[in-house]
């Protein structure tokens, strides 16, 4: 004789209704299947598992854990042998059936498996209130294995993306999801999947415009032993904020000197990407981007270093040519005349960079920078060196002759006058 309770459950399954509804109907009829009873049944169920002979009743993967939980309760009672064999066959199919992306440990309790399955079912069905309550309870209990917690996070992540930003529930979903991610990082932060989890969380935060948090997750996920390639996303986030600040006037482009927090974030993100991947296919463009960000904020010394990096990566690129010109301007704005002269002379000497007109202009810049440097330090020897390098500029010659006579170096002054 079949157990009428078991037959009612299987009848509900075969009719296509979720097992959760079958359980609810049994509870409404006065059956109490609580966590304590389910935990007590765990060992009994595991002891009876044997190799499966065939699948029974077409139970789906989504409701198998609940089926095992309910059958575990039934098995506590004294069943006829035939009923025990039926229950045993279904329970074995639970253990043998793989759950995608999840590996349930044998030590997991029936109650935990049931709650996890109920939570997944609720989240995937868009049942926000019930799903969030179960999710928070499971996370608070803290006994979930790596893949089980990932499954729950993935389902809630999908629900967050499906929920419109104007929906009042969106904030609750994101707060609960944050708890889930933080719980995973606390428990499994050193696991091989840590980088991808940070990146996935960053993607969600990015799409929901929580940009500070998104930047942090992207940056964290792209470094360390198990890094994932989402450092470029950190650059995108930082660049979008910098552009928005300029467009809305909260950070005018001419507000130099001094980089803002987000401009520093942008440079840091570029630095992280190129440090982790020195041969990055867009390394020249990224280095130029960092240099120009700093150049626009008056951080000329740091900008020069990034511009030089861009030039070294690809001397014949458009970015390298622009970087060369901006280096000249950066030295001039810093009034670093020695540096400007040196860079302009190097530009003039490199016949593979720019055309003849560019190189002639570079030599003129070097000459003026050299004069500015000599006027500042007043060195006669420096002026003589300048004349030897750049030719006979009448005003410069007069200046040098006067300086030589002031220092009682008349013989040199006479020679210079004779050479005019």
**Residue 265 to residues 219, 248, 274, 293: CA-CA distances in angstroms?**
10, 19, 14, 11
Task: Calculate mean pLDDT across residues 66-72.
Answer: 41
pLDDT digits (tens, 9 = 90+) for 105-153: 445 567 778 888 899 999 999 899 889 999 999 988 887 888 889 999 9
pLDDT digits (tens, 9 = 90+) for 41-58: 444 433 433 333 333 333
All domains of the chain in start order, with CATH: 193-325 (1.25.40.10), 335-377 (no CATH), 379-420 (no CATH)
- Look at residue 46 in the predicted model and tell me its pLDDT: 38
Confidence category of residue 360, pLDDT binned at 50, 70, 90: confident
Task: Calculate mean pLDDT across residues 62-69.
Answer: 39
* 197 has a pLDDT exceeding 70: yes
Name the nearest CA neighbour of 324 among 335, 312, 336.
312
What interhelical angle do 356-377 and 380-390 show, nearest 10?
Answer: 170
Segment among 88-92, 289-293, 345-349 with least mean pLDDT = 88-92
- Look at residue 45 in the predicted model and tell me its pLDDT: 39
Q: What's the angle, vertex CA 62, arms to CA 61 and CA 64, rounded to 5?
A: 60
- Look at residue 177 in the predicted model and tell me its pLDDT: 92
Both tokens of residue 236? 């995108």
Task: Calculate mean pLDDT across residues 156-166.
Answer: 89
Which residue has 């939570």 as its token pair?
119
- Look at residue 314 in the predicted model and tell me its pLDDT: 94
Task: Calculate mean pLDDT across residues 300-328.
Answer: 94
Name the nearest CA neighbour of 348 among 368, 330, 334, 333.
368
Percent of the chain with pLDDT over 90: 40
Which residues are bridge partners to 99 per DSSP? 102
Backbone torsions φ then ψ of 102, nearest 5 degrees: -145, 145
């Amino acid at each position: 004789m079949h157990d009428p309770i078991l037959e009612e459950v299987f009848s509900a399954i075969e009719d296509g209704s979720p097992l959760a509804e079958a359980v609810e109907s049994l509870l409404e009829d006065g059956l109490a299947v609580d966590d304590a009873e389910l935990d007590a049944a765990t060992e009994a169920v595991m002891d009876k598992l044997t190799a499966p002979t065939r699948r029974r009743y077409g139970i789906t993967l989504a409701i198998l854990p609940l089926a095992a939980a309910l059958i575990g309760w039934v098995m506590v009672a004294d069943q006829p042998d035939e009923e025990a064999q039926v229950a045993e066959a279904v329970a074995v199919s639970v253990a043998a059936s793989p759950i995608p992306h999840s590996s349930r440990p044998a030590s997991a309790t029936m109650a935990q498996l049931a709650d996890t399955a109920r939570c997944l079912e609720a989240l995937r069905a868009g049942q926000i209130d019930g799903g969030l309550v179960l999710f928070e309870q499971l996370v608070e209990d803290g006994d979930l294995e790596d893949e089980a917690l990932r499954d729950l996070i993935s389902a809630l992540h999908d629900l967050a993306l499906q929920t419109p930003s104007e929906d009042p529930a969106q904030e609750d979903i994101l707060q609960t999801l944050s708890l889930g991610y933080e719980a995973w990082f606390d428990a499994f932060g050193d696991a091989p999947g840590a980088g991808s989890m940070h990146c996935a969380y960053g993607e969600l935060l990015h799409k929901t415009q929580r940009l500070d948090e998104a930047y942090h997750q992207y940056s964290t996920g792209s470094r360390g032993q198990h890094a994932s390639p989402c450092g470029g996303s950190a650059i995108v986030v930082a660049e979008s904020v910098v552009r928005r600040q300029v467009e809305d006037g909260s950070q005018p482009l001419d507000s130099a000197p001094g980089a803002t927090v987000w401009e520093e974030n942008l440079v840091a993100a570029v630095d992280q990407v190129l440090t982790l991947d020195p041969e990055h296919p867009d390394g020249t463009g990224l280095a130029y981007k960092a240099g120009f960000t700093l150049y626009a904020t008056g951080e000329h010394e740091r900008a020069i270093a990034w511009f030089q990096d861009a030039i070294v990566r690809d001397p014949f690129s458009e970015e390298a040519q622009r970087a060369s010109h901006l280096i000249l301007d950066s030295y001039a704005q810093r009034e670093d005349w020695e540096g400007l002269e040196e860079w302009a002379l190097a530009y003039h000497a490199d016949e593979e960079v720019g055309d003849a007109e560019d190189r002639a202009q570079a030599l003129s810049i070097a000459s003026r920078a050299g004069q500015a440097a000599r006027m500042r330090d007043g060195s006669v020897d420096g002026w003589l060196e300048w004349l030897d390098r750049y030719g006979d500029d009448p005003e410069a010659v007069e200046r040098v002759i006067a300086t030589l006579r002031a220092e009682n170096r008349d013989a040199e002054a006479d020679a210079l006058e004779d050479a005019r």
